[in-house]
Amino acid sequence: MVRYQKADPDATAVLIERLSPRLYRFFASQLGNRTDADDMLQDLWLRVHRVRHTYRSGQPLLPWVYAIAHRVRIDSYRKRRRTSREIGIDVLPERAVPQEKQSNVPAFDELLATLPEGQREVLTMLKVGGLSLEEVARATSSTAGAVKQKAHRAYERLRSFLQKTPAAGRQA
C-alpha cells in the first residue's frame, strides 16, 4: 500500500490482485448478485484510489480497506433502494436456485439472508473475509465488544433457523 501511495504501477496491480477476490466475496455474500458485487468492487477501487493518502503506513491494511468497503456497500444499498422506489418495484425477484441442489439444508447465502444487515456484515467480515474482531471493529467504526455481540446474536439466530429447518436437524 505504501508503494501504491508513491504511484508504483506494479504495487497497484499486486494490491488489486491480492485483495479483489476477498472483497468480491464480501460484496457477493451480502447481495448474491454478481453484477452488483462487480459494480461495488469497482467503486471500492475508485474510492481507495481517491483516499489512498489517508492510509497511514504501519497500520493494518485490511481494516482500512474494509471500512471503505463497508461504506460502498451502504451507499450501494441506498442507491438500489432509491432506484427501486423510482421504478416502482414492490418486490425484487428472487435468485434462481440451481436444479442440482438436492440437500434441504439452506445454502450459505440463504442463511446469511436471514440475518439483519449488521449481523450479516460482521459475520461476513469474520468468516468470509477472515478478519479478526479488532479489524472488524475498526472497519465498522465499532468496538470489539459490539462486534462480538453481533456475531454471537448472528450465531444464535442461525442456530435457531437451522433447528427449525426439517432436514437440517437430522443432518446436524
* 3-class secondary structure, 102: coil
C-alpha–C-alpha distance, residues 158 and 48, integer Å: 33
C-alpha–C-alpha distance, residues 128 and 87, integer Å: 33
Please tell me which residue, 172 or 25, carries the higher pLDDT value. Answer: 25
- Specify the DSSP class assigned to residue 125: I
**Residue 62 pLDDT exceeds 80:** yes
Cell digits for 90? 414492490
**Residue 2 pLDDT exceeds 60:** yes
Q: What is the pLDDT of residues 79-121, one digit of tens each?
A: 776 665 545 545 555 655 555 545 566 777 778 888 888 888 8
For CA atoms 48, 15, 1, 12, give the dihedral sign.
Answer: negative
Is residue 50 within 8 A of residue 93, CB to CB? The reply is no
Is residue 97 within 8 A of residue 108, CB to CB? The reply is no
CB atoms within 10 A of CB 42: 12
Q: Which domains does the chain have, with CATH numbers?
A: 1-92 (1.10.1740.10), 103-172 (1.10.10.10)
Rounded to the nearest integer, the mean pLDDT of the chain is: 81
Rg for the chain, CA atoms, rounded: 18
Identity of the residue numbered 75: D
Burial (CB count within 10 angstroms: exposed 0-12, middle 13-18, buried 19+), residue 128: middle
C-alpha–C-alpha distance, residues 63 and 159, integer Å: 28
Q: What is the pLDDT of residue 169?
A: 46
C-alpha–C-alpha distance, residues 135 and 66, integer Å: 9
